[in-house]
Copies of this chain bind each other. A is one copy, B any other.
Amino acid sequence: MYSIGQLSRRTGVKVPTIRYYEQTGLMPPADRTSGNQRRYDTDGLERLSFIRHARGLGFPIDAISALIELQTHPDRSCQAAGDLAQAQLDDVRNRIARLQALESELDRIVAGCDGKGAAGDCHVMTALADHDLCAQDH
| Main DSSP-derived SS at the A contact region | helix
Q: How many of A's residues come within 8 Å of B, CB to CB?
A: 59
Residues facing B in A86-109 (CB within 8 A) are 86, 88-89, 92-93, 95-96, 99-100, 102-103, 105-107, 109
Whether the Cβ atoms of B49 and A129 lie closer than 8 Å is: yes
Copies in the complex: 2
Chain B residues, CB < 8 A from A107: 89
Q: What CA separation (Å) do A115 and B118 show in the bound complex?
A: 60
Whether the Cβ atoms of A125 and B57 lie closer than 8 Å is: no
Residues facing B in A102-134 (CB within 8 A) are 102-103, 105-107, 109-110, 113-125, 128-129, 131, 134
Interface residues of A (CB under 8 A from B): 46, 49-50, 52-54, 56-58, 67, 70-71, 73-86, 88-89, 92-93, 95-96, 99-100, 102-103, 105-107, 109-110, 113-125, 128-129, 131, 134, 138
Other CB < 8 Å A-B pairs besides A78-B118, A82-B110, A92-B103, 4 of them? A53-B129, A56-B134, A71-B125, A78-B117
